[in-house]
Structure 1
Amino acid sequence: MAELDLGSVRAFVAVADNRHFGEAAAQLGITQQAVSKRVARLESTVGSVLLSRLRAGTGLSRAGEVFLPHARALLAAADHALVALSGRDRPLRVDVLDTRLASADLVREFYAAADRPAVDIVTSTGLQAARPALKAGAIDAAFARLTGAVGDGVRGIPAHVERTLVVVGRGHPLAGRDRVGMAELAGATAWMPGNAPDSEWAEFWDEVSAAFGVRIDTTGPNFGYEHFVGGIAADTDRIGFIGEQCRVPDHPDVVRVAITPPFPAYPWSVLWHPDNGHALLPDLVEHVRRRFRARDLAGAWLPEGDRAAFLR
């Protein structure tokens, strides 16, 4: 029986998550050519084509869809084995979804307040990836959207409410406005290619769409924030939404417009598994608990499930 190479499996999962070989290479810290070689080696080993290379991006073949959950489980088990060997003195591993988001700011605040403890930042596609990683011990904490019981024994508490802003190109009719109400955006199309399919954040924006009549367009490969702001700058019809703390690249032809209440707000929670014995984990959870302010909900629109979770 052929043996699987973990590096090849990790490259496959990275491409499946990012839908793009270049983004996967950036995530893994290797070249795009190396990612391609690893995926090709894996496909040769399993005897199936796992990825469909299309003009619009990279998707999963039928074999890839079957293999992906097993690949994730394999990597989680390998990471858990390394964690078990490394002991409690290893850095605290925290999944922030993306280093440009408010979640990374929360960890930076903890890092500064706790006198620079050993912390490793991890990025992922959200709750679907974080849940098994928390259970396996591959990560110690994760920031995600959580409206109820997450399963696998994982716990969570409210961490932060982050208001959203509208971004438009300088040629858009809203470019000269300081603020806009969500009612005025009904019928507009918001381009958000970074919304990972079937993620908790994609679901959040589906609920925003249903509540305010804004169409959410996730088409096109997610080439990163530079491509996103460039696309917004070049379009006089589309809008985009970003978190107030999201550090998107500056662009001379992109304008940020505040949203008047009620404004959609990102509901961040911190998640962890109670069996995790890392010495720094209780400090991080307590730091988040102390800094969370329910009054930040004032003016914020949240789906009913999120609001109930943040007020209980």
Structure 2
Amino acid sequence: MDLDGAQLRAFVRAAEELHFGRAAGTLAISQQALSKRIARLESLLGTELFDRGGSGVRLTEAGQRFLGPARQTLAAADAAVAAAVGEDRPLRVDVWGHLYAPMRTLAQVAGTAGHAEGTGDAEPAGRVGGLVLGHGRDLPSVTAALLHGDIDAGFGRVHPPLHGGLAHRLVRLEPVDAVLGADHPLAARPALRPDQLRDSVLWAPGPLDRLDFLHQFADRFAIRNRATSVNLGLAHFLAEVAAGPRRFSLLPADVPLPDVPGLRSVPLVHPTPLYAWSLLWRTGTGHPGLHDLVAACAARARRSRWLEYDPARDWLPEPQASCQAG
């Protein structure tokens, strides 16, 4: 029995989503096309893989048995394609969380950044070692690119909900500082506790419901006053922060600050917030460089002590706290 790869991929994606419309969207095909592929696969196998009852879609017992081997078959097919193409094609990695400068970490893992094109404050796309780097807008956009096969991996902050067809590895935990203007009443302090910012205004580079770290920080430390801006780059954003006597925002401690008059960066302690960077990829990705990148991230994390976490001293948003140093 010869199995069709497109039909298998339609089945696996529908099994992960348990929703034909969403599954079709991740494959960039119509729901009708996805349904036809699954129906042909069921006809070939002589059994139903999904129970399409009025309460929604769920796997039949046959579908549950078929899912694991189907995933393995797709992974083997992807690996075969990668082997045929060879190792000359660079690994395509999208980064997100641009104001927090994700390429600083990737450059330390993969080597010195080469020539890249870009303007303004945004980090440019380009090559880092054997990687080709691009920009995703956020985690959902990078997730879609991974599921479509447009990229091989992503690098940024991973948080729920995470698609079932993706895997990730925690790479780095970075201490976060408060950034504020010289006119802020707390600007001269050598260090601050997060709860001392309770009466300040958290300035965010976009809607907080799309900025999980800032949202959770504000909730955890009872920052009631919150305002959003438009992300026009780090220099523009920090100039807005410095212009308000009660405004503050958060940045990893070693992000190079642009030359903004009156800007202050103050360490946060008791607890120190940690920003978590992760490498994200689609399960079954067959590019030979992915394993090397994961291994390089793990080695650099051990060598540079990037994953140190002490719950008595540090703060992580809940989903990441369970990862701890692993």
Q: TM-score band (shorter)?
A: 0.5 to 0.7
Matches within 5 A, 1:39-50: none
Q: What does residue 324 of structure 2 align with?
A: 310
Inter-CA distance 70–98: structure 2 relative to 1 (3 Å threshold): same
Q: What does residue 121 of structure 1 align with?
A: 133
Shift of 1:260: 1.1
* CA deviation profile, 1:34-93 (whole Å, cap 9, x unmatched): xxxxxxxxxxxxxxxxxxxxxxxxxxxxxxxxxxx979948xxxxxxxx99976522211
Matches within 5 A, 1:85-100: 88-98=87-97
CA contact (8 A) 2:97 2:138 kept: no
Q: What does residue 45 of structure 1 align with?
A: none
Matched, 1:159 2:168: no
Return 177-186 or 147-156, whichever deviates more.
Answer: 147-156
How far apart, CA to CA, are the structure 1 residues paired with 2:103 and 2:293?
Answer: 13
Q: What does residue 8 of structure 1 align with?
A: none
Matched, 1:138 2:138: no
Counterpart amino acid of 1:310?
Q
Counterpart amino acid of 1:179?
A
CA contact (8 A) 1:93 1:140 kept: yes
Q: What does residue 103 of structure 2 align with?
A: 104
Shift of 1:205: 1.9
Q: What does residue 43 of structure 2 align with?
A: none
Shift of 1:256: 0.7
Matched, 1:170 2:182: yes
Q: What does residue 259 of structure 1 align with?
A: 268
Shift of 1:294: 6.9
Question: What SS is found at the alignment partner of 1:310?
Answer: coil
How far apart, CA to CA, are the structure 1 residues paired with 2:198 and 2:143?
Answer: 35
Inter-CA distance 106–296: structure 2 relative to 1 (3 Å threshold): same
Matched, 1:238 2:252: no
How far apart, CA to CA, are the structure 2 residues paired with 1:182 and 1:93?
Answer: 37
CA contact (8 A) 1:125 1:196 kept: no
CA contact (8 A) 2:97 2:156 kept: no
CA contact (8 A) 1:169 1:235 kept: yes
How far apart, CA to CA, are the structure 2 residues paired with 1:251 and 1:231?
Answer: 10
Instruction: Determine which structure has more spread, i.e. the larger CA radius of gyration.
Output: 2
Counterpart amino acid of 1:265?
L
Unpaired runs of at least 5, structure 2:
1-23, 30-80, 115-127
Matches within 5 A, 1:62-101: 73=28, 88-98=87-97, 101=100
Shift of 1:217: 2.9
CA contact (8 A) 1:159 1:268 kept: yes
Counterpart amino acid of 1:92?
L
Q: What does residue 10 of structure 1 align with?
A: none
Shift of 1:206: 1.9
Q: What does residue 283 of structure 2 align with?
A: 274
Counterpart amino acid of 1:287?
A
Inter-CA distance 184–140: structure 2 relative to 1 (3 Å threshold): same
Inter-CA distance 99–90: structure 2 relative to 1 (3 Å threshold): farther
How far apart, CA to CA, are the structure 1 residues paired with 2:280 and 2:26?
Answer: 23
Shift of 1:113: 8.3
Inter-CA distance 197–234: structure 2 relative to 1 (3 Å threshold): closer
CA contact (8 A) 1:168 1:232 kept: yes
CA contact (8 A) 2:99 2:234 kept: no
What is the percent sequence identity of the aligned residues? 30
Unpaired runs of at least 5, structure 1:
1-68, 75-82
Question: What SS is found at the alignment partner of 2:228?
Answer: coil
How far apart, CA to CA, are the structure 2 residues paired with 1:99 and 1:219?
Answer: 16
Shift of 1:223: 2.0
Question: What SS is found at the alignment partner of 1:266?
Answer: strand
CA contact (8 A) 2:154 2:280 kept: yes
Q: TM-score, normalised by structure 1?
A: 0.65
* Matching residue within 283, 297, 308 for 2:309: 297
CA contact (8 A) 1:165 1:241 kept: yes
Inter-CA distance 252–113: structure 2 relative to 1 (3 Å threshold): closer
Q: TM-score, normalised by structure 2?
A: 0.63
How far apart, CA to CA, are the structure 2 residues paired with 1:197 and 1:125?
Answer: 15
CA contact (8 A) 2:92 2:152 kept: yes
